[in-house]
Amino acid sequence: MTESTKSATLKIGDKSVELPMFTPTSGPEVIDIRKLYSQAGVFTYDPGFTSTASCDSTITFIDGDEGILTHRGYPIGELAEKSHYLEVCYLLLYGELPSPTELEDFEDLVTNHTMIHEQMINFFRGFRRDAHPMALLVGVVGAMSAFYHDSTDINDERQREVASIRLIAKMPTIAAMAYKYTIGQPFIYPRNDLDYASNFLRMCFAVPAEDYVVDPILSRAMDRIFTLHADHEQNASTSTVRLASSSGANPFACIAAGIACLWGPAHGGANQACLEMLKEIGTPDRIPEYIARAKDKDDPFRLMGFGHRVYKNFDPRATVMKQSADEVLELLGVENNPTLQVAKELERQALEDPYFADKKLFPNVDFYSGIILEAMGFPTSMFTPIFSLARTVGWISQWKEQLNDPQLKIGRPRQLYLGEDIRSYVDIEKR
Ligand code: SDX
């Protein structure tokens, strides 16, 4: 970390506190407040962490004003166009693009760990068939700590590596099993002669009664969707994984916590909520009614798939996703998909509306992804499990980075207490 030539002086009453600053590779400088409480006896106050850097990281950078997203320095647009998901996984995990041999070895390693412990099938059977697949994902991934005891010691580098590969390799199998379980179809085992995305599609859509050939258009689109969701700096679910890991919790428990957080409609659950919203709107003539509702402070309705804590410009992932939606739907012969037409018209009208322009609300990664996923045959309930599957490598990369930080401390925020002052207990007879 590079100390800035500048420092910050905080005047508190008649006291002054000098705080060092650090200079990033890119992005805002930071004020180091670690010693603020001990020096000045005050806390900072930042619910929602709108102005707080929770850590330092070398993995992903976002410039929200410019609409820039890079992974280890490589722009997401280039990775989506020229790379593929497992290569992006290697980049996120190890910091550099792999050599041909490194890539082949990594892909072999992941491919040969896609099966789950057979006993875990019984674990699935405890769920109701109408459970949301995300409920199964949270439960089954958390339960991995009960099946893979030999990769739960976070102080053992080898075990950390084994747990990382197991999670990346097995998440598609678990997500596909969650889908199959909820539609009452038999589980389909992974195959080692298929690439990562094709394997997932086959595990979701094949049935034992007939052969299933993966459509290369779909597997390319699926792989690109995985890449676009792989990591995103210190978003809510990644911060959840980091906080859970700071207590020393095992990797499977930490990733299960991340899945639980991602499920929320303000976060990863927005892709499901967005498609449901687009279908509720139904036709372009109803768009003005929904835009009016989104602008109404008394109406809790928000345009799902719009807005972002960091992006105050186009989410670069949404740009790629929109192009991919056009390509995939045309190749699938559903280019006149009514939901896509509503989405495009909604985007046009919203971006022309001063409310959205003034608040810098643009489509985010969740605005177009659901349209592609639905066209590929997925129900809306599988949208967030697919987001979880893709983000597993981001959570794991950030988890590993934090565990390698010699300054790692348990995360323990403080608070601004506004409750009752100290008072004595009153016996019930006197109340
Ligand atoms: C993801 O953080 C990440 O990196 C997340 C993610 C990742 O890859 O990990 O990018 C994935 O979660 C994308 C976001 C998906 N969520 C949605 O699409 C849900 C709809 N969006 C909003 O709920 C909202 O935009 C958030 C949650 C995404 C961001 O909320 P913020 O940063 O806390 O902003 P805010 O709620 O304070 O909104 C600022 C203003 C408010 O108006 P005022 O109170 O200032 O008058 O903008 C308004 C909001 O009411 N606003 C919206 C809106 N989003 C914000 N108004 C209508 N529709 C919206 N979608």
pLDDT tens-digit readout, 62-105? 999 999 999 999 999 999 999 999 999 999 999 999 999 999 99
CA gap 348, 367 in Å, rounded: 13
Query: Bigger pLDDT: 300 or 336?
Result: 300
352 has a pLDDT exceeding 90: yes
Query: Bigger pLDDT: 333 or 104?
Result: 104
Query: So what's the pLDDT on residue 378?
Result: 95
Query: Residue 295: which of 355, 347, 358, 367 has the closest Cα?
Result: 355
CA of 307 to the centre of ligand 1 (A): 4
Residue in this structure with the two tokens 């740009």, named with its chain if needed: 319
Query: So what's the pLDDT on residue 201?
Result: 98
Q: What is the pLDDT of residues 146-173, one digit of tens each?
A: 999 999 999 999 999 999 999 999 999 9
Looking at every residue in the chain, the average pLDDT score rounds to 96
The mean per-residue pLDDT over the stretch 327-352 comes to: 90
Percentage of residues of the chain with pLDDT beyond 70: 100
Q: What is the dihedral of CA 137, 138, 141, 144, to 10 degrees?
A: -130
Name the residue of 54, 240, 361 to mutate for ligand 1: max ligand atoms within 8 A of Cβ: 361
Name the residue of 308, 311, 312, 314 to mutate for ligand 1: max ligand atoms within 8 A of Cβ: 308
- What crossing angle do the helices spanning 251-262 and 133-143 adopt, rounded to 10°? 170
Tokens matching residue 409: 């401390």
CA gap 134, 58 in Å, rounded: 30
Query: So what's the pLDDT on residue 1?
Result: 83
Q: Is 308 close to ligand 1, i.e. is its CB under 6 Å away?
A: yes
Return all residues near 236 (Cβ < 8 A) that are at least 6 apart.
261, 262, 264, 266, 267
Q: What pTM was estimated for this model as a whole? A: 0.96
Three-state DSSP class for residue 210 = strand
Q: What is the pLDDT of residues 186-199, one digit of tens each?
A: 999 999 999 999 99
Query: Residue 134: which of 342, 386, 335 has the closest Cα?
Result: 386
182 has a pLDDT exceeding 90: yes
Q: List the residue whose alpha carbon is closest to atom 41 of ligand 1.
A: 359
Query: So what's the pLDDT on residue 337?
Result: 85
Query: So what's the pLDDT on residue 111?
Result: 98
2 has a pLDDT exceeding 90: no
Query: So what's the pLDDT on residue 8?
Result: 95
Q: What is the pLDDT of residues 377-411, one digit of tens each?
A: 999 999 999 999 999 999 999 999 999 999 999 99
Query: Which of 195, 223, 231, 366 is the catalytic position?
Result: 366
The mean per-residue pLDDT over the stretch 330-354 comes to: 91
| Residue 21: HSE in the Cβ half-sphere, 13 Å Cα cutoff | 13
CA gap 331, 167 in Å, rounded: 32
290 has a pLDDT exceeding 90: yes
Q: Is 309 close to ligand 1, i.e. is its CB under 6 Å away?
A: yes
What is the bridge-based pairing of β-strands 2-12 and 60-63? Answer: unpaired
Q: List the residue whose alpha carbon is closest to atom 39 of ligand 1.
A: 359
